[in-house]
Amino acid sequence: MYDSIKKHSSLWERFTSKGDDFDQYSCVDSYCNFARHDMEEVLSPDVSRKLVEEGLEMEFPDDKKFGVCLTHDIDDIYPPFYHTLLSVYYSARNIDLSGIKTHCLWRVNGKAQSPYLNFREIMDIEEQFGGKSSFYFLAADKDPRRFRYDIEDTEAYMGEIVDRGWEVGLHGGYYSYANYNNLLYEKQKLESVLGKEVIGFRNHYLRLKINESWEMLSKAGFKYDTTLGFNNTVGFRNGMCHPFRPYNSEEKKTLDILEIPLNIMDVALCEYAGSFKEAWELSKQILDSGEKYNGIITLLWHNNTFSSPHLKDWKKLYIKILDYCNKKDAWITSCEDIYEWWNSADIDYP
């Protein structure tokens, strides 16, 4: 599989390159400030196309033609002060008294009234379109920008997520991708609060050391990772719209973890696209590629997107994407379900 991917991927150097904005090894390259002419390359899953041409076939549950994996990174459960100011400003500008109350009074009425504790709303939206998703919570004690939240505050909310059949995974802290002790500590802390094993992972800021991070994740007991993606554009990070088990070429072994590549992140998409229309067209192109090559497209929408007045178009876009996928009869599900299916399907790359 590894040789096939490497042989056919025009993005192989980007996949294995290192260095990011934080002067650390990362899946986000320092030079990946994409010009318009670069997008044709990253929007084409050339590796998956070649694999399909050589005989790769996927059989999804219920005879679905392709999959759409829904994910949410829970970076905040309480709006930082500048988030509140921005939300109040936009609510006032639109004469939205309810919005002003929502984003002001939670600080008076208590943490339980935080507008970012909106997991039920997100699940309700996804359920309307026959889907479910994965929520990745932070359990780290440190963050270079600000302390985020105590994982203990999320216990009841995570319980409801799991009870409804959605997934809870770990959103690894800023330093976790390169520190096994931090990684294991955060996993055990989350599992202690959740009361069950956690198998899924995505690192904060999409930080990843190729092979090294995957080795640590496997050792810590994770079954899959979904960190491999762009934080400043959208597309196919390594030319694939299919999950894969990474291969360590130096040690000549397949790593015991499944990578489910990330294709569309809300922040990257909406900051790169010049308009709602362009963001939708980019999303549609990526989804259509997933359908064409019988693959899986992974989305990341942060929870604050669903409660921030200035990001209402991002929420609208998410709903539009779900509606489109539902009408195309896609398998809209969580990373956990993708892993369980992949693990039982015994898929072999040509």
Supply the CATH number for residue 135's domain.
3.20.20.370
Domain housing 104: 82-115
Does the pLDDT value for residue 34 go beyond 50? no
Does the pLDDT value for residue 8 go beyond 80? no
Q: Give pLDDT, residue 68.
A: 98
Report the sign of the C-alpha dihedral through residues 89, 94, 99, 100, in that order. positive
Does the pLDDT value for residue 10 go beyond 80? no
Q: Which comes out higher in pLDDT, residue 3 or 235?
A: 235
Q: Tokens standing for 218?
A: 């496997």
Q: What is the pLDDT confidence band of residue 37, given thresholds at 50, 70 and 90?
A: very low
140 and 251: one domain?
A: yes
233 and 143: one domain?
A: yes
The average pLDDT across 228-246 equals 94
**Distance from C-alpha of 237 to C-alpha of 185, rounded to nearest angstrom:** 29
337 and 289: one domain?
A: yes
Q: Give pLDDT, residue 12.
A: 47
Tell me if 36 is assigned to some domain.
yes
111 and 7: one domain?
A: no
The average pLDDT across 310-329 equals 97
Tell me if 249 is assigned to some domain.
yes
Q: Give pLDDT, residue 346.
A: 78
Residue 347 near residue 58, CB atoms below 8 Å: yes
Tell me if 62 is assigned to some domain.
no
Q: Tokens standing for 3?
A: 């040789």
239 and 157: one domain?
A: yes
Cα separations in angstroms, 33 against 14, 228, 296, 299: 12, 17, 25, 21
Does the pLDDT value for residue 24 go beyond 50? no
Q: What is the pLDDT confidence band of residue 80, given thresholds at 50, 70 and 90?
A: very high
Cα separations in angstroms, 232 against 17, 21, 30, 314, 331: 16, 11, 10, 16, 27
Residue whose tokens read 């090294």: 212
The number of folded domains in the chain is 2
The average pLDDT across 129-144 equals 96
Does the pLDDT value for residue 28 go beyond 50? no
Does the pLDDT value for residue 26 go beyond 50? no
**Distance from C-alpha of 8 to C-alpha of 236, rounded to nearest angstrom:** 14
Instruction: Give the HSE-up count for residue 177: Cα atoms under 13 Å, Cβ half-sphere.
Output: 21
Q: What is the pLDDT confidence band of residue 191, given thresholds at 50, 70 and 90?
A: very high
Does the pLDDT value for residue 4 go beyond 80? no
238 and 204: one domain?
A: yes
Q: Give pLDDT, residue 251.
A: 84
**Distance from C-alpha of 186 to C-alpha of 188, rounded to nearest angstrom:** 6
Q: Which comes out higher in pLDDT, residue 150 or 11?
A: 150
107 and 208: one domain?
A: no
Phi, psi of 301 (to 5 degrees): -120, 120
**Distance from C-alpha of 178 to C-alpha of 23, rounded to nearest angstrom:** 13
Give the DSSP H/E element, type plus range, for residue 256: none
DSSP state of 135: E
Q: Give pLDDT, residue 20.
A: 44
Tell me if 63 is assigned to some domain.
no
Tell me if 60 is assigned to some domain.
no
Q: What is the pLDDT confidence band of residue 16, given thresholds at 50, 70 and 90?
A: low
22 and 86: one domain?
A: no
Tell me if 206 is assigned to some domain.
yes
CA 172 to chain CA centroid, Å, is 12
Tens-digit pLDDT profile for residues 138-169: 999 999 988 999 999 999 999 999 999 999 99
Tell me if 200 is assigned to some domain.
yes
The percentage of the chain sitting over the pLDDT mark of 90, rounded to a whole number, equals: 81
Q: Give pLDDT, residue 40.
A: 78
Give the DSSP H/E element, type plus range, for residue 209: none
Residue 60 near residue 240, CB atoms below 8 Å: no
Query: Residue ranges of the alpha helices (H) in 10-165?
Result: 12-16, 39-42, 46-53, 81-93, 97-109, 119-128, 155-163
CB atoms within 10 A of CB 23: 8
**Which residues on neighbouring strands pair with residue 224, listed in sequence order?**
200, 258
The average pLDDT across 228-234 equals 93
**Distance from C-alpha of 9 to C-alpha of 55, rounded to nearest angstrom:** 17
Q: Give pLDDT, residue 41.
A: 82
Q: Rounded mean pLDDT of the chain? A: 90
Residue 72 near residue 135, CB atoms below 8 Å: yes
Does the pLDDT value for residue 30 go beyond 80? no
Cα separations in angstroms, 274 against 255, 266, 268, 270, 282: 39, 13, 11, 7, 11
Q: Which comes out higher in pLDDT, residue 158 or 29?
A: 158
153 and 299: one domain?
A: yes
199 and 332: one domain?
A: yes
Tell me if 59 is assigned to some domain.
no
Q: Give pLDDT, residue 139.
A: 98
169 and 271: one domain?
A: yes
6 and 87: one domain?
A: no
Does the pLDDT value for residue 281 go beyond 90? yes
Residue 46 near residue 10, CB atoms below 8 Å: yes
Q: What is the pLDDT confidence band of residue 58, given thresholds at 50, 70 and 90?
A: very high
